[in-house]
Amino acid sequence: MSTRHDTQHDLVVDPEVAPPEPPPMYQVVLLNDDYTPMEFVVKVLQKFFGKNAEQATRIMLQVHHEGRGVCGVYPRDIASTRIALVSQYAQARQHPLQCIMEPA
């Protein structure tokens, strides 16, 4: 193992140290149900996932027709936080909307 010592700044550089790997990513998925209004799903997508009206409507229609739709891809902590926020928001408004996360 070779190291180089920079005397001007007292910095030791080890060329064998690999850069850290990016964290594993997870997709947040909204699931269809027969009770949550479409307008509410669009509002959730805009409020919690930063989607514009067109993107939110497209994802909502995907959830409606295919049973599920991807809201976004995030690191694990951010994905789980968004799921918790959506669940709390939906429950407070008495909607059974559910989110899950899956490895991307």
Residue type, 94: Q
Expressed as residue numbers, the domain containing 70 is: 26-103
Q: Is 74's pLDDT higher than 60?
A: yes
pLDDT of residue 98: 97
Cα–Cα dist 31/57, whole Å: 15
Q: Residue 54 domain-assigned?
A: yes
Q: Residue 20 domain-assigned?
A: no
pLDDT of residue 16: 81
Q: 25-71, pLDDT tens digit by residue?
A: 999 999 999 999 999 999 999 999 999 999 999 999 999 999 999 99
Distances (CA, A) of 75 to 26, 71, 78, 81, 94: 6, 13, 6, 10, 28
Cα–Cα dist 24/13, whole Å: 28
pLDDT of residue 61: 98
Q: 2-24, pLDDT tens digit by residue?
A: 555 555 566 666 678 888 999 99
Q: Residue 34 domain-assigned?
A: yes
Domain count, the chain: 1
pLDDT of residue 19: 87
pLDDT of residue 15: 72
Q: Is 75's pLDDT higher than 80?
A: yes
Q: Residue 21 domain-assigned?
A: no
Q: What CATH number is associated with residue 38?
A: 3.30.1390.10
pLDDT of residue 10: 65
Q: Residue 42 domain-assigned?
A: yes
Q: Residue 80 domain-assigned?
A: yes
Q: Residue 52 domain-assigned?
A: yes
Q: Residue 6 domain-assigned?
A: no
